[in-house]
Amino acid sequence: MIGRVRGVAPPGDEAGFVAWVRPHLPAMARLAGRLAVGADRDDVVQEALARAWSKWGQYDATRGSASAWLLAITADQARKAARRVRPVADLADHDGVAPRADLDARLDVEQALGVLSARQRLAVDCYYFADLSVADTAAVMGCSEGTVKSTLSDARARLRRLLEVSE
């Protein structure tokens, strides 16, 4: 068991856990909404919180930030929830690139993010919306920092193509 970590109450301290988790809830909800397509975002966050509570004694601040740890749990729960629901038809064709004719020229960023692969959405959400470092994003995704960088690069390129406005 990990001992008391500075700023983190010991396992079993419900008030301490709530205070520790509260600042991370918006990022957890945003990530759950992006990854658990077709599932209830609030249910995913609730499951992630229950899992975090049960594993709270295993959190080790020397291995990553609290945000990265909580988002990794949320991502795992979101993937499980997405597998339980029927897959939604993707806008992408067989090459993984959305055909321009199928996209409204006014496609907004939220819709474009929905077209990204789950891995790309996770990387974008962690790095850009949760303000995690590349290292923490890699911890959430369970991959190397180089993989995070290439995934982000691919996601940015795809978003540029999706959001181009024809003149």
For residue 111, the SS3 value is: helix
The yes-or-no verdict on residue 107 having pLDDT over 80 is: no
- Average pLDDT in the 17-46 region? 88
Per-residue burial over 34-63, b if 16 or more Cβ lie within 10 Å, else e, is bbbbebebeebbebbbeebeeebeebeeee
pLDDT at site 12? 67
Domains of the chain, residue spans:
14-161
- Checking if the pLDDT of 52 tops 50, the result is yes
What letter does residue 128 receive in the DSSP assignment?
I
Which overall architecture, per CATH, does domain 14-161 show?
Answer: Up-down Bundle (1.20)
Query: Which of 112, 94, 96 is closest to 165 using CA atoms?
Result: 112
How many helices and strands in the chain, by DSSP H and E? 8, 0
Q: How confident is the model at residue 36 (pLDDT cuts 50, 70, 90)?
A: confident
**Is pTM, for the whole model, over 0.85?**
no
Q: Which residue has the tokens 């995690």?
A: 132
In this model, does residue 4 exceed pLDDT 90? no
